Amino acid sequence: MSKAHLTTGSVNAHLIKLALPALIAIICTFSFIVVDTYFISILGQNELTAISYATPMIDMIIGVAIGIGIAISSVSARMIGAGDFQKVKAYILHSTIFCLLLSIVVSTLGILNINSVFIALGAKGRPLAEIHNFMFVWYIGIFLLIMGFVASNALRANGKAKGPAMVQILMALINLALDPVFMFVLKLDIMGAAIAGLIARTIGFVILMRMLVHYDVITLNLKENISGIINSWKKIISISIPACLTNMIGPLATFWITYLLAMTGQAAVAGFGIATKAQMVAVIPLFVLSASIGPVVGQNFSANKPERSFSALKTCAIFAVIWGALISLILIFMAPYISGIFSSDAETITVSNAYMYIVPVSYIGWGVIMMVSANFNSLGHPSRSTLISFTRMIVLFIPLSIILFQHIGYVGVFIAFSVATLIVAALAYLWAYKDYKRLQASSI
């Protein structure tokens, strides 16, 4: 069990040390769906449309997994910062049980409602059948997905970041190798991609659990540590809900956009699906920093060093702005080439290009929102993150998207997303800045 090692030394150096392994982990996680999409696009337009419909649900559950991982990391970091090293091991055990129970519920509900959910989104015919084949297998592995983030974040919070990164690389390579085998050799088509991912995550889960035990990050003695389980669950829920909501804003917006685009046609949905794959890769560094900032903020806050916590937030926010501007320019120039990799259909490519011309500028704000939300979660103020997410999605984006969709079609929806994100990002950072000024004044 590591000590509070983030309260001294360079804040930026700590962020880099945490971010690099997290970058590898999240790239590998998102690579599953990107690799799957490439091989699935070879099968045909129906299969490509199917995975485009499925992507928002997959992204949403990944957002939940990242959110729970952030909660584990945040609470663990504060415990370590306060010197409660023994409590951390019991907390990780309680977290594992929580994730198992949550996964059973989500998997069961997901499998029972595959058709009803995607029919409501506008799926029909052959794509709907393919969606069912893929999602049935994918839902079975939800616990493995969530625990991948939980175990990795727990290990990183304790200073063991390299091992989880190596496991994520191994899982990505296994998925890459097995995808064509199950899809084309065994002729399982789109279901084969889901099976390959399930096998890769199973192997990764076994290795990560062994690491938790080896590095003394978890206790397996439930009998002696059962008393605090409800309190641990309350901590997980109080932080993970706003963290999940923040990470789910993108997928929720994707669901809403998919619903509107389905009114335009199935080709439009396929084009949007291609663009979101490019987005998935583009925002990886933002997910990485939002997952890495928590331990730094949490440990320094508990050690009564608010100036170091705010330094971490400011550094991450500046990076988010620079990265958002850079990736926006890249996607504007690369959009036609990226779209052409996955489809030759003219309408599909037109929608994909339009998204990549308009939405990437919002990554500037999206990243800032992620950092501010992770900061508030680590300070023990999850309700603030919830309010930020609610304002962005419900107050601004949905009403604005309805108005603009009626006047200029799907282009208006893309514009609405960008405008809502940038406005809320500015307000969120101002809120965090004033909060730290208050904390700094009270610590003098």
Q: What is the mean pLDDT of residues 121-126?
A: 85
pLDDT of amino acid 398: 92
C-alpha dihedral sign at 378, 383, 384, 386: positive
* 50 has pLDDT over 80: yes
pLDDT of amino acid 129: 92
Least trusted range by pLDDT, from 238-242, 346-350, 386-390: 238-242
Q: Is 361 part of any domain?
A: yes
- Taking CA atoms, 186 is separated from 69, 195, 441, in Å, by 35, 11, 65
| Residue of higher predicted confidence among 355 and 227 | 355
Q: The pTM is what?
A: 0.70
Q: Is 120 part of any domain?
A: yes
* 223 has pLDDT over 80: no
pLDDT of amino acid 185: 94
Q: Helices 229-262 and 382-390 sit at what angle, rounded to 10 degrees?
A: 10
Rounded CA gap, 402 and 399, in Å?
Answer: 5
Q: Is 372 part of any domain?
A: yes
Q: What's the domain count of the chain?
A: 1
pLDDT of amino acid 133: 93
Q: Is 3 part of any domain?
A: no
Write out pLDDT tens, residues 258-303.
Answer: 888 888 887 888 888 888 778 877 888 887 787 778 778 877 777 7
Write out pLDDT tens, residues 388-412.
Answer: 888 998 899 999 999 999 999 889 9
Tell me the residue range of the domain where 273 lies: 11-443
The confidence band for 187, taking pLDDT boundaries of 50, 70 and 90, is very high
pLDDT of amino acid 101: 94
* 52 has pLDDT over 60: yes
pLDDT of amino acid 139: 96
Based on the number of CB atoms within 10 Å of its own CB, is 352 exposed (0-12), middle (13-18) or buried (19 or more)?
A: buried
* 88 has pLDDT over 90: no
pLDDT of amino acid 83: 67
Q: Is 2 part of any domain?
A: no
Write out pLDDT tens, residues 246-258.
Answer: 667 667 777 888 8
Write out pLDDT tens, residues 361-386.
Answer: 999 998 899 889 888 877 777 778 87
Q: Is 1 part of any domain?
A: no
Q: Is 179 part of any domain?
A: yes
* 304 has pLDDT over 70: yes
Q: Is 5 part of any domain?
A: no
* 3 has pLDDT over 60: no
